[in-house]
Structure 1
Amino acid sequence: MQSDLADYCVDFALSKGASYAEARLEERDSNGFLLKNGLLESAGFDSRAGIGVRFILRNCLGFATVNRLSKEAVRETLSSSLKVTSAASRLTDCTRLASSKAVKAKDVVSCSESPSSVSAEQKTELLSHIDSAVLSSGAKITSRYLSLSDEVVRKYYVNSEGSKIESVYPAIDFFYSFTLDANSRSGHRYWHYGDVGGYECFKHWQLDKVVEREARGLERNLSEAKSVSGRKFDVIAGPEVVGIMVHESVGHPYEADRILGREAAQAGESFVNPSMIGKRIGSAAASVVDDPLAKGFGRYCFDDEGVRAKRKNLVTKGVITEFLHNRETAASLSTASNGASRASDYDKEAIVRMSNTFLLPGGYSEEELFSEVKNGIFIKNFQEWNIDDKRLNQKYVGSEAYFVKNGEIASPAFQPTIEIDTPSLWKAVAACSNKVELHAGECGKGEPMQGIRVSMGGPHCLFKQLRLA
């Protein structure tokens, strides 16, 4: 990597009057394959590199990117950006960054089967094998879509405060979607698998068994499921459902830039405000964390501002305890950054993002949790969801779901739907099982849009007396 060029970016910005500067050099190699109804529809690779430079000049924040990796190109690009930022400084508020310790570190993720060691032919064979497994379910599949991608991202981060961080992160990403018909009903199942590492992750997932089981479960649900008829039930939500609840109703509204109104024009606002730290939002059984150090798709050890990653305790026993911060939002709220600043690529500015966000486990085994339910519903996974732009009112529609009778899973339930506000949802948590599952996703945020790797999940969770549509 041309780390000396990133160093030069920082030095050049400082020489032109910047009070702070940082540079993030990234090299990214990726491959992607798409199988549609058994046919290879696309296959390709990408290799790119560039530097993103952020600086403060006359108390105004500036950002510039360059993909021509030469000192001449850096001088040309930064000179122009510095000039624009200087002019804009008369019209903008003073930019402050919370203090952060200088870090010098290397963060290299090892893998036993690197993306480059697996041929394109082997990767397409993996997809074909999974596609065959969908068909072997015997369900009436009307369409199927499988995608596989991998990448290796090499970064070098440097700032004017003394930080220098090198990292190498390989990642694997698989997505499947299929539609099937049964009993004059149509159903759709999709899900995402991903992890930081190599193709050893892919083998661990056993996706051929997963998709066959999912197809059979959805077919049975469409064929046999009965309506829940708008009654109140005790509800056990599976980790996939808990994950989307946590991500949408806790993760996003606890992003400090959103709380401060900086996303209002694009993605909306938050029902949370800074004065709510220490306020109760859920039951004592509900604790939610965002942990980039956990093994998941959103794993990292240093964020894109050079801040060391740490677990963020967003909700502790039902009480709001922490927000997600970068250095700028932390300064605005008189606290320290907790390492939640991420960018999807070198040419995007780092903003406040989630990583691995999940509900903490409780003390029940899954069997004990189900034994608490005499007449209820188990929602294993979901087919759709939505939430308002303040992250307050939301809806989750079950896909594979079942009635629970006297602690036992019984007959299928047809698309049980939870419509509820965020405090009522988390105050209804009665108990959690003792095993957490994390599920991969791609979280979209920002303008321009930045899709970034995350995980979401939790244990099986018992909610008391939710009204289902």
Structure 2
Amino acid sequence: MPWNHEDLVLKALDVGSSLGARYVEARYHRHSRSSLFSRNGEVIGTESSVSEGIAVRVIANGALGFASTTILTEESVRKTVEDAFRKAQAHSKLVKKPIEFSQERLGRATYEVNEVKPFTNVSVEEKVSYLFDLWKNVSSSVSTARVATLTSWIGESVEEKVVANTDGAYIKSRIPRLSLGYNVVVTLPSQGTIQRFFSHGASGGYELLEKWNVIGYLPEDVRKFEKIILEARSPPTDRPVDVIVGSEIVGLMVHESCGHPSEADRILGREAAQAGKSFIKPDMLGEKIGSEYATVIDDPTIPGSNGFYLYDDEGVPARPRFLYKEGKINEFLHNRWTAKLFGVNSNAAARAMSHESEPIIRMANTYFKPGDYTFEELLEDVKFGVYIKSYMEWNIDDERWSQRYGGLEAYLIENGELKNLVKNPVLELTTKTFYSSVDAADKNLEFYAGTCGKGEPMQGVPVWFGGPNVRVRNILLRVIA
């Protein structure tokens, strides 16, 4: 008889239980993707792909085994479960402490994101025309400098899952996502070059293009880049100044200096040989990391977000996670294994990239909590400083402690007013210095899309990171050489 993927997921649970596994988890996971790429208004490539399969995890003899298959038949699923079971048995000889999962109230639900303008309603010709118009508007927006290249792309994806386990979870979901990205190079050979890479991403359909309005704002940005090349002056580096950090940089900072070091598996050292360590130690909950204004939240449940989900891949209901709260380290990101080790409940951070991947601890939508100020009020109390709106480059160390951000669009602040453009300011500081120096945040919460990488083999999952504009005091700026 023919089997659909829901039948096969349930079949996997039966097979694993019959083998004597203490826990069995099966996940049908399908990704369909397509992209269109353009350079200077001309199409340079298209791609489409579908990945589909069933992933299985079992706990047997105190060890965890994982296997997956792309062959969606009853026989193949049975062999996959047996493979995962054999791996667990083999690993059990090496396990010092038996693997256990936390007890949770798991979900039984179906949910999906509905597109206002579905992908099927937009033709290839419309996408090509959009990217051509984008190039036309951008390339004609400057007078002295020139736009050397504009590489742009539109991407569509639909992620479908059925997740079930022997602890009672049964979750079906469908999440479509749209992305639009570009890399623009503005140059005046005698004076310099600026490159700007940026991408939008969210769950939904082509209604998002109108919301993002890239055709409207990118020509204005390019004119600003030309002005930076022609007019920007060096930043003040001779003494500490107050800095207003733009939401784009704040979002990246909280993702890198709060989200990653708060991953419980990283805290335990699992990521040490792959993506690095964490400055946070298991006993640091409650320790002061910043001022009272420093609250960082990771929330998978934000409607329309790039990292949206309502249940994780272990069936745990999602909720906002307050990683830093009013300046203190408040909670870690957990799956059911780390939650058991720490004596807490899972906060639904287990995500897998595809059927070939096991669920590991991941961020979703990480942001700095907005404050009560307007942007103008942030400026008012700055006698002399710099506003760094966007970044051009960045790096951070393996423990997520020392970090550096090179500004792109930035302005001098004098007596509460924005003055001339500042060229290549560098914000270089430690994690604690940043969060401790924040004395105000405005109300304007902005999100930025990304793909977060982690694991071995590498897994990339869609996320948002964001925040308001925040003010930090007495920071010694540097300059890109």
Range class of TM-score, shorter chain: over 0.9
Secondary structure of 1:214's match?
helix
Give the 5 Å matches for 1:1-400.
2-93=5-96, 94-138=98-142, 139-182=145-188, 184-230=191-237, 231-295=239-303, 296-400=305-409
Report if the CA contact (8 A) 2:30-2:354 is conserved: no
Q: Please tell me the residue identity of whatever aligns with 1:300.
A: Y
Separation (CA, whole Å) in 2 of partners of 1:84 and 1:354: 28
Alignment check: 8 A CA contact 1:189 1:218 kept? no
- Distance in 2, matches of 1:310 and 1:67, equals 32
What is the CA–CA distance in structure 2 between the aligned matches of 1:220 and 1:118, rounded to whole Å? 36
Aligned-pair CA distance for 1:460: 0.8
Residue by residue, what CA displacement relative to the aligned partner does 1:50-91 show, whole Å, maximum 9, x if unpaired? 111111011110111011000111122322332232122111
CA contact (8 A) 2:51 2:354 kept: no
SS in structure 2 of the partner of residue 276 of structure 1? coil
Instruction: Name the CA distance, whole Å, in 1 between partners of 2:271 and 2:242.
Output: 36
- Check whether the contact 2:153–2:182 (CA below 8 A) recurs between aligned residues: yes
CA contact (8 A) 2:169 2:314 kept: no
Q: SS state of the match for residue 250, structure 1?
A: helix
Q: Quote the Cα distance in structure 2 between the aligned partners of 1:218 and 1:445.
A: 33
State the distance in 1 between where 2:19 and 2:124 align. Answer: 47
Question: What's the secondary structure of 1:80's corresponding residue?
Answer: helix
1:91 aligned counterpart, secondary structure: coil
Matched-pair contact (CA < 8 Å) for 1:242–1:459: yes
| Per-residue Cα deviation, 1:15-47 (whole angstroms, up to 9, x for no partner) | 111100111102222211111232211112222
**1:170 touches 1:198 (CA, 8 Å); kept in 2?**
yes
**CA distance, structure 1, for counterparts of residue 311 and residue 317 of structure 2:** 5
Cα 1:207–1:377 change in 2 (3 A) is same
Match of 2:431 among 422, 432, 439: 422
Distance in structure 2 (CA, Å) of the matches to 1:425 and 1:468: 13
> Distance between the aligned counterparts of 2:362 and 2:419, measured in 1?
40
Letter in 2 for 1:55: V
Q: Distance between the aligned counterparts of 1:268 and 1:13, measured in 2?
A: 34
Alpha-carbon displacement from aligned partner over 1:118-149 (angstroms, at most 9, x marks no partner): 12222222222222222122241112211111
Structure 1 counterpart of 2:320, one-letter code: R
TM-score of the two chains, using structure 1 as the length reference: 0.98
Percent of aligned pairs with the same amino acid = 39
Q: Give the Cα separation in 2 of the matches to 1:105 and 1:111.
A: 20
Alpha-carbon shift at residue 102 of structure 1 (Å)? 2.8
1:436 aligns with 2:451: no
For 1:213, what is the secondary structure of its paired residue?
A: helix
In 2, the alpha carbon distance for the partners of 1:88 and 1:315 equals 36
Cα separation, 1, equivalents of 2:351 and 2:129: 34
Q: Alignment partner of 1:305: what SS?
A: coil
Q: CA deviation at 1:229?
A: 4.1
Describe the superposition over 1:170-224 as per-residue Cα deviations: whole angstroms up to 9, x where unpaired: 1001111111113521111111101011111111110112211221111111211
Which one of 383, 392, 401 corresponds to residue 410 of structure 2? 401
Q: Residue deviations 1:274-293, cap 9 Å, x none?
A: 21111110011111100111
More moved, 255-264 vs 231-240 = 231-240
The answer to whether the 8 Å contact 2:57/2:65 transfers is: yes
Work out the CA distance in 1 between the residues paired with 2:106 and 2:476: 51
Give the number of equivalent residue pairs.
469
Q: Residue type of the partner of 1:115?
A: F
Question: C-alpha deviations, 1:282-317, integer Å up to 9, x for none?
Answer: 011111100111232111111111110000001111
In structure 2, give the amino acid aligned to 1:395: R
Q: Is the 8 A contact 1:57 1:82 kept in 2?
A: yes
- In structure 2, the gaps of 5 or more residues are none
CA RMSD in angstroms comes to: 1.2
Contact 1:64/1:81 (CA < 8 Å) preserved in 2? yes
- Whether the 8 Å contact between 1:360 and 1:459 is mirrored in structure 2 is yes
Partner secondary structure for residue 97 of structure 1: coil
What letter corresponds to residue 87 of structure 1 in structure 2? Answer: A
TM-score, normalised by the number of residues in structure 2 = 0.95
Query: Which AA in structure 2 matches 1:249?
Result: S
DSSP-derived class of the 2:103 partner: coil
